[in-house]
Amino acid sequence: MKDMNLQGKKRIFSVFAFVVIVLVALVGRCFWIQFVDGPNLQIRAIEQQTKDKTINSKRGVIYDRNGKILAQSASVELVSVNPREIADAGNADFVADTLSSILGLDRNAVFEKLHKNSSYEIIKRRVEKPEAEAIRGYMSYTNESGETVNMMKGVYLSEDTKRYYPYGPLAAHVIGFVGTDNQGLSGVELSFDNYLKGLPGRVVTAKNAIGTDMPYQYEKYINPENGANLVLTIDETIQHFVEKHLEQAVAEYNVQNGAACIIMNCKTGEILAMATYPSYDLNDPFTLNDPAVQAEIDALSGEERTTRYNEAIQQMWRNKAVVDTYEPGSTFKGITTAMALEENVVGVNDMFNCSGHLQVGPHSIGCWKSGGHGSLTFVQGVENSCNPVFMTVGSRIGPQNFYKYYKAFGFAEKTGFDLPGEAVCAFHAMENFNEVELATSSFGQSFQITPLQLVTAYSAICNDGTMVRPRIAKALVDDDGNVLKTFETEYIRKVISAETAATTRTILESVVTNGTSKNAYIPGFRIAGKTGTSEKLPRGNGKYIASFLGFAPANDPEIIGLLILDEPMGDTYMGGQIAAPTFKLIFDDVLRYMGVEPQYTTEEIETMDLPVPNVVGLPVADVSNAFANSGLKYQIVGDGDTIVSQIPNGGTALPSGSTVVLYTRETSENDVVVPDVVGCSVTETNRRITNAGLNIKISGDAEVKDGEAVAATQSPPPGTLVPKGTVVTVEFKYINVH
């Protein structure tokens, strides 16, 4: 056999050389992939190889200022499936049947999800424990032969949370609610979402290409960080008072478009209560609170239905106190007063004349009292809410200054309040702000503001000239009660001097004691305030907003409140007639609850009810001693030596100067008939009752004057035979109030 020739050997070597070159090139290629493309490829590889599972963080609790829980998250479960595992296990039918029946879902929808081309599908969120346990039962099911089998291969239960609102509809518009992913959707749940939600944790696990976990391969657990707990400035009790009285007022005065009320600590800006009526149940925020509207929507279909539902639900969620704008009307006169005093264009005793209207340029603008108030001082002008007085004062302030103060009082900007959706309306453009606009603006018409803006502006009057920023949050605390952050009082700016503020407060207090706001009077609590009645646009449709803004105590205010009744359709709609009495009920509850010390004036003490001394069993000779400092008079009937009975009984409260009838023997010959006083003036009522030998008690403790109020009810009723000295309780209603 031949040998290999030299050329062949060379060629063999050159084949080798070629192979080596190619191999070196391939080594280079590997190097390139591993070190140049490597980092990028690694990231993409890890992305596909790992499963990132989010662990929900616990959402923070929302407390009221006293630690009552307003919102809280509870542990529930989430049911998910891995459709690929379901496909491998071939149990889709069984799983679809079981899950749809336990969870109350549509079987076809579940079945469809089980056949998705994915490795993770959520079947239902926020599943309560009993349902979760039922599913778990099938996961370790003991069959006839005693084996434990997982009938639900590919079905997973994991932790989920659900939000509970223990007080249901209370402060719904303030607290707000969360969506399906526990994200805040409205109220403080939305505006403080970043604090409340915490940081979700993650479990990163290795998975194979079909999506199942690979045991012992790789797992990394990143702890979730729980959300901070939020302490609100809201006081659940005050909120409750407010909502109760709003509901009563809405019913009593046939209010059509809801009501709103804000109660704020005027020194700190803390909102103690903020209510919008009607409220809705936070535990079921997507159900309309008005069955009539729901029925109307149910009758619709398709897109129209969706549109109408969205409208209605948005309306239901609106926080009227912050989001809705309105014409403040006469409640704005306090601000105009402060402007005028600060600009020194009016003195408290300056004289004005009201003929019932005032000619402003081409227009004659009327006063609410068509006959006019005649000659009156500035203070009386405020007390009587006289429009011509304010138009005159407005023109003295001038458009430039009026606009300057309008902005300074914050009506052209958001208050910076920490609830979502705060509105700001444009004021008249400066070039269009002429005498007519100025005249109407000075008594609170022709522009719109939010209730919260008005309260914030008035905080300057309460607070010696400095406006305070309203706020809803007091502090953030962790689960161990440590304070993470305290929300401090923020002052917006000083708008007027302390003197102007004090004078304005005095005037506004006299509006309550002497003027149109008498229905808000509470003895001892020095309420100051202003009523407002504004006709809604378009004018002439008979729709009004009745409102009252007040604060107390007038000399050093602690709380300020604004009440708005939107579209009262009852017999009365004026702010003084319906808003002031409701406001009084709210403030009476709130001031007493807050333990504000009453400060009685001398006149109040004079008109205050005094306890009747008990003299039964005493000798007649000692009676004068017993009555010495009582502030009450007495009359002895009979000539016995000892008092055997008295009318009224000891301990009864009577207005000072009333007469207690004392009997030395049992008799009924002194019984008298109760006169009819309904419709009578105060003087007439007093005369009739006193003449009958009876005592009068005016309910509501108001110091009523003639010509302003008439007796509305009396007890006992007319014609009743009662012993002399019996107390007749008479309730007076103010007439002619603005």
Partner 1 sequence: MKFPRLLGKTQTDRGKGIDYTFLTVVIMLLAYGLIMVFSASSASAHYRMGDTFYFIKRQGICAVIGLIGMYVFSVIHYKKYYKWALPFLGIVVILLVLVLTPLGVEVNGASRWLGFSFLTFQPSELAKFALIIFLAKYLTDNGKMLEKPGGFIANLVIIGLIAGLVLLEPHMSGAMVIAGVGVVILYVAGAKKLHLSILAVLGIVGAFGLIAIAPYRMARFTTFLDPFADMQGEGFQIVQSLYAIGSGGFFGLGLGQSRQKFLYLPEPQNDFIFSIICEELGFFGALLVIVLFAVLIWKGIQIAMRAPDKFSSLLVAGIISLVAIQVILNIAVVTSSMPATGVPLPFFSYGGTSLIIMLCGMGIVLNVTRHIKK
Catalytic residue IDs: 330
For residues 203 and 345, which CB has a smaller minimum distance to partner 1 in the complex?
Answer: 203
Task: Decide the pairing of beta strands 483-486 and 473-477.
Answer: antiparallel
- Count of residues in contact with partner 1, rule CB under 8 A: 43
Q: How far is CA 453 from CA 323, 324, 326, 540, 620, in A?
A: 10, 11, 11, 26, 64
Q: Rule CB under 8 A: which of 556-595 touch partner 1?
A: none
CA atoms within 13 A on the CB side of 309: 16
Instruction: Report the residue number, 27 or 251, with the smaller CB distance to partner 1.
Output: 27
**Cα angle value 233/239/242 (rounded, 5°):** 135
* SS3 assignment, position 190: helix
Q: Any contact of residue 145 with partner 1 (CB under 8 A)?
A: no
**Percent helix, strand and coil across the chain, each to the nearest 5:** 35, 25, 40
* Contact flag: residue 7 with partner 1 (CB under 8 A): yes
Minimum distance between the CB of residue 43 and partner 1, rounded to whole angstroms? Answer: 9
Q: What is the DSSP string of 458-516?
A: HHHHHTTTEEE--B-EEEEE-TTS-EEEEPPP-EEEE-S-HHHHHHHHHHHHHHHHTST
Task: Report, in Å, the least distance between residue 85 CB and partner 1.
Answer: 12
Among 55, 76, 89, 206, binds partner 1 (CB under 8 A): 206
Which residue stretch of 35-43, 163-171, 195-203, 690-698 sits at the interface with partner 1 (rule: CB under 8 A)? 35-43
Q: Which is nearer to partner 1, 18 or 286 (CB)?
A: 18
d(CA 203, CA 205): 6
Report the candidate in 545, 546, 556, 553 with the shortest Cα–Cα distance to residue 587: 553
Q: Hey, how many other C-beta atoms are within 10 angstroms of the C-beta on 74?
A: 12
Q: Judged by CB, which is closer to partner 1: 29, or 407?
A: 29
Q: Which among 121, 152, 148, 120 is positioned nearest to 136, based on CA atoms?
A: 152
Cβ atoms within 10 Å of 173's Cβ, excluding its own: 25
Count of CA atoms in the C-beta half-sphere (13 A) of 304 = 6
Side-chain-facing half-sphere of 354: CA atoms under 13 Å: 26
Query: Per the structure block, which two tokens stand in for 35?
Result: 């070190």
Closest approach of partner 1 to the CB of residue 5, in Å? 7
Residue 116 found at the interface with partner 1 (CB under 8 A): no
Reduce the secondary structure of 46-73 to three states and give it as a string. HHHHEEEEEECCCCCCEECCCCCEEEEE
The reply on whether position 118 binds partner 1 by CB under 8 A is no
Q: At closest approach, how far in Å is the CB of 216 from partner 1? A: 11
Contact with partner 1 (CB under 8 A): which of 54, 183, 208, 625? 208
**Interface segment toward partner 1; rule CB under 8 A; list 28-36, 69-77, 284-292, 593-601:** 28-36
**Which of these, 225, 171, 176, 222, lies nearest to 197 by C-alpha position?**
225
Closer residue to partner 1, CB minimum distance, 4 or 429: 4
User: Is 16 a binder of partner 1 (CB under 8 A)?
Assistant: yes
Q: Which stretch binds partner 1 (CB under 8 A): 29-37, 59-67, 625-633, 659-667?
A: 29-37
Does residue 34 touch partner 1 according to CB under 8 A? yes
Least distance (Å) from partner 1 to the CB of residue 136? 27
117 binds partner 1 (CB under 8 A): no
**Minimum distance of partner 1 from residue 154's CB (angstroms):** 16
Decide if residue 351 touches partner 1 (CB under 8 A): no
Residue 9 interacts with partner 1 (CB under 8 A)? Answer: yes
**Of 5 and 602, which has the nearer Cβ to partner 1?**
5
Contact between 141 and partner 1 per CB under 8 A: no
Closer to partner 1 by CB, 39 or 67: give it.
39
Residue whose tokens read 């301990």: 651
Q: In the bound complex, what is the minimum distance in angstroms from residue 217's beta carbon to partner 1?
A: 7
259 close to 253: Cβ distance less than 8 angstroms:
no
Q: Using the rule CB under 8 A, is 33 a contact of partner 1? A: yes
220 binds partner 1 (CB under 8 A): no
Q: Which residues contact 417 (CB under 8 A, 6 or more apart)?
A: 271, 322, 452, 469, 470, 471, 472
- The span of 12-20, 96-104, 105-113, 163-171 binding partner 1 (CB under 8 A) equals 12-20
Q: Which residue, 153 or 305, is less far from partner 1 as judged by CB?
A: 153
Q: Which of 77, 140, 174, 214 binds partner 1 (CB under 8 A)?
A: 214
Which residues share a beta bridge with 654? 610
Verify binding: residue 38, partner 1, rule CB under 8 A. Answer: yes
Give the separation between CA 218 and CA 206, rounded to whole angstroms. Answer: 5
217 sits near partner 1 (criterion: CB under 8 A): yes
> In 3D, which of 673, 667, 610 has the Cα closest to residue 643?
667
User: Is 158 in contact with 77 (CB distance < 8 Å)?
Assistant: yes
- Cβ atoms 599, 691 nearer than 8 A: no
Task: In angstroms, give the least distance from the CB of 233 to partner 1.
Answer: 54
Question: Which region, judged by CB under 8 A, interacts with partner 1, from 24-32, 90-98, 106-114, 149-157?
Answer: 24-32
Please state the φ and ψ torsions of residue 611, each to the nearest 5 degrees.
-75, 140
- CB under 8 A: which stretch of 40-48, 255-263, 337-345, 666-674 binds partner 1? 40-48
- Is 37 one of the binding residues for partner 1 (CB under 8 A)? yes
Site for partner 1 contains 41 (CB under 8 A): yes
Binding site for partner 1 (CB under 8 A): 1-5, 7-9, 11-13, 15-16, 19-20, 22-23, 26-27, 29-31, 33-35, 37-42, 44-46, 48-49, 206, 208-210, 214, 217-218
